[in-house]
Amino acid sequence: MRPRPAAAISAVLVVVVLAVFGGGAAAAAGGGMVGVDGTQFVVEGGRTIYFSGFNAYWLMMMASDPARRAAVVTAFRQASARGLNLARTWAFSDGGDQPLQSSPGVYDEAMFQGLDFVIAEARRHGIYLLLCLTNNFDDFGGKRQYVRWAAEYSGHNLTAADDFFTSSVVKSYYKNHVKAVLTRVNTLTGVAYKDDPTIFAWELMNEPRCDADPTGGMVQAWVEEMAPYVKRVDGGRHLVTAGLEGFYGDGEHESKELNPWGIYYGTNYVATHRAAGVDFATIHLYPDVWLWGSTADEQAAFFRNWTRSHIHATAAFLGKPLLVTEYGKFLWKDGGAGGANKTQRNYFLDVVLDTIYASASRGGPLVGGAFWQLLLDDDDVAGMDDLRDGYEIILPEDTRAASIIGEHSEQLASLNGQDAEAFRRRHRAASSHRKTRLGSSLSSGGDSDTLRLPRMLLIRFISLSRSISSFIQDNFVLF
């Protein structure tokens, strides 16, 4: 069969990248289980891998209906065409209208097969998965649903959602869910989830917070119990993270004054990420919503302080990689008052992604991120408009955002495949005598001057070619 033009372009690019950089970009397409080496993520052989990702919490639910699985294929195809190599999505739906787990230990096989399909398709498209195991909030059940189950099925007099973190019954329900998911054997691939290298990591909870103990002790104790448990069930094959937004508590090396409005949210950034079994740190970035009503200058100042402080704290006190697992800027539908317009949103994307690349290219701990959220056009997939939340990016429509994201993906891909220890040594030496402008595209990870220009020219060429191939794929039917 004659290859489609987009596929032919991609094939040529792979050959060029492999020839120039010795296979560095190949790591982004999946190089086995992901591990950690200091502040770097690595694949087999200790080679660096960086993550340009997206959130799409809806993948399992869409795939649970075989008639709608094409939407999952389309999402992965569009993401892969822009160089994205990480998807963060839900491996839970607790109770409600479309449950994965309808009651403690009772699972809907159609939903589980939907998750099977998501994992299989991610693997086929060379995209790693960060799978989240429950929610702090009421959406899709979360911790409140677990507390309701404990009252309903075990007769425990629990009334507060934060009882989730302390109730022995609730914790046993959560552990049973962990075991059910991790030991699941994929009906399409025949591979148990705990053995599947497509899965990058397990996330204990989406955005844990705790009003019952604002200073963070309750969440801390829960993570210290659950992270090692996940590791035991998993056999230590996959990475684990807590799912924090980055809010500081009152522990050692915490900086509560940098939190939005300077208040507690029930977590400790440093202490919780130090817990046994937690392999990497996470933060989220929503300065416009966290500081609703503040000025653009105030939000910009917050962003600078938030990212700098977490990069510093992660390097100084954790020595682990850091990912921005959610970032976004709210857009009002039809440009209504109070939200940003697309120009402002795209500037925000530029600033976030420049910050990630500046850290990654200099050997810093911030080594990737995932925007919230990827959606498809409702004309192509019915029901997508119902999932709009003001943060959505529809790649074929949001061409400028897609270009920014695609260029960033290629920049990070150019750093893949390096020996992690050699990479760190080069940058320790370079940092002693060289300062680089924030976000400078010429900061190429310690390469010699003779390689910097060819590398950046190649990145621009790849980005342009990706854009052309994506346009062809998204707008034409080719035979």
257 is catalytic: no
Q: Which amino acid is at 357?
A: Y
- d(CA 456, CA 441) in angstroms, rounded, equals 7
DSSP H or E stretch at residue 186: none
Phi, psi (deg, nearest 5) at residue 211: -75, -30
Choice among 245, 254, 326, 410 that is catalytic: 326
**CB within 8 A of 130, min separation 6: which ones?**
53, 86, 87, 88, 89, 200, 201, 203, 241, 325, 370
The token duo for 166 is 């302390």
Helix, strand, coil % (nearest 5) of the chain? 50, 15, 40
Spot the catalytic one: 207, 245, 407, 410.
207
Asked if residues 55 and 371 have their Cβ atoms less than 8 Å apart, the reply is yes
Beta strands in 156-212 (DSSP E): 199-203
- How far is 126 from 30, CA to CA, in rounded Å? 5
Q: Could you give the CA distance from residue 332 to residue 336 in angstroms, rounded to a whole number? A: 5
Name the CA radius of gyration of the chain, rounded. 22
Distances (CA, A) of 182 to 226, 240, 396: 14, 12, 34
Following CA atoms 81, 84, 85, 89 in sequence, which dihedral angle do they give, to the nearest 10 degrees?
A: -110
Nearest in space to 275 (alpha carbons), one of 210, 212, 326, 217 = 217
CA-CA-CA-CA dihedral for 215, 221, 224, 229, to nearest 10:
-140
- Residue spans of alpha helices (H) in 59-141: 59-63, 69-81, 109-124
Q: DSSP label at 314?
A: I
**Secondary structure letter of residue 33 according to DSSP:** S
Helix (H) / strand (E) containing 101: strand 101-103
Q: How far apart, in whole angstroms, are the C-alpha atoms of residue 96 and residue 114?
A: 17
Query: What is the spatial distance between Cα 347 and Cα 401, in angstroms, rounded to a whole number?
Result: 9
16, 210, 257, 267, 459 from 220: Cα distances, Å:
47, 10, 20, 7, 42
Q: Is 410 annotated as catalytic?
A: no
Residue 474 structure tokens: 């998204």
Tell me the catalytic residues. Answer: 207, 326
